Amino acid sequence: FTCANHAITCGSGTDALLLAMMALDIQPGDEIITTPFTFIATAETIALLGATPVFVDIDARTYNIDATKIETAITPRTKAMMPVSLYGQPCDMDAINSIATKHNLHVIEDGAQSFGATYKGKRSGNLSTIGCTSFFPAKPLGCFGDGGALFTNDDALAQKLKMLRVHGQDKRYHHKYIGMGARLDTLQAAVLHVKLKHYESDLKLRQEVAAKYNLALKDKFVTPFIQAECTSAYAQYSIRVTKRDNLQTHLKAQSIPTAVHYPIPLHLQACFSYLNYKEGDFPVSELIANEIISLPMNPYLRDDEIAYITKNL
């Protein structure tokens, strides 16, 4: 589906990120550049390996990492970059990969929300050294429990990843690496095998739902900006509004569910206080965190449901 040479399934999107860094031999003290405006697993996995997440602010239109700000964050300890394809849209991968080549860095795409999206005609997951995704039920392609996958065109990395997900085992009871138990459950694999056959049509339906939202809301709100070279998997349909809490309360009263992805940027989370970031360090991330709100999004939203939601906005 991604056209990558190798797809390695695993237990979750979080496992995928951990396995990717383990395969690239990320060590304690290494630095990984990423975004503060994402789900915590992105930076959490970096910290779990003893490495240091180094945050770079986001682009105000796409909400993805701002590639023009990356090079100033690179130090002699930087080993990799982990861009996040937030809400389903890939990052500016040409710029990111160019920086990686210049500075001899690895790129791990956190594509937990963007399976099926494209950048210049190539699928998310097949845009960097290693691509990761999640099959958590809330994701565009979700199983019935949890699951994830990694994608790479590097034969040696693929072989190492397959061993790492089974406790570093190269043959039964012979362990080449320190690994982990991160296999995809057979039941979840069976579910995904069936759902993948219908996923292309589901993607198109998601994009059609987003287009209907855009048409109804473009003059009232800041709607998602999709770059010309990208398509989005629309894991979320998120708009910006200055009085978000008031809007959430109003929509809840009309039985319209909403969510905030994400209310507190990672640099302001208590668990990352040891990094010594402070409020104001990443102003775009902080602004978007205060204004973003996600509306109902799934491939099967009916026109009357979309009309009801948009009428109440």
- Percent of the chain whose pLDDT exceeds 90: 100
Task: Give the model confidence (pLDDT) of 2-54 as tens digits.
Answer: 999 999 999 999 999 999 999 999 999 999 999 999 999 999 999 999 999 99
Place of tokens 């089974």: 166
Give the pLDDT confidence score for residue 128 in this predicted structure.
98
**Six token digits for residue 204:** 């198109």
**Strand-pair partners of 7:** 151
**Six token digits for residue 308:** 């009801």
Pair 223, 214: CB distance under 8 Å: yes
Give the pLDDT confidence score for residue 76 in this predicted structure.
99
**Six token digits for residue 16:** 């995928």
Would you identify the CATH topology of the domain 199-311?
Aspartate Aminotransferase, domain 1 (3.90.1150)
Least Cα distance to 77 among 104, 108, 41 occurs for 104
Contacts of residue 39, Cβ cutoff 8 Å, sequence gap at least 6: 112, 261, 262
Pair 72, 99: CB distance under 8 Å: no
Q: Calculate the average pLDDT of the chain.
A: 98
Pair 232, 115: CB distance under 8 Å: no
Q: How confident is the model at residue 219 (pLDDT cuts 50, 70, 90)?
A: very high
CA–CA separation, 114 and 124 (whole Å): 6
Domain boundaries, the chain: 6-194, 199-311
CA–CA separation, 52 and 29 (whole Å): 6
Q: How confident is the model at residue 73 (pLDDT cuts 50, 70, 90)?
A: very high
The length of the chain is 313
Q: How confident is the model at residue 230 (pLDDT cuts 50, 70, 90)?
A: very high
Report the CATH number of the 6-194 domain: 3.40.640.10
Q: Do 6-194 and 199-311 agree at the fold level?
A: no
Task: Give the model confidence (pLDDT) of 167-190 as tens digits.
Answer: 999 999 999 999 999 999 999 999
Report field, pTM of the whole predicted structure over 0.95: yes
Asked, as a colleague might, if the bond just before 262 is cis with ω within 30 of 0, I would say: yes
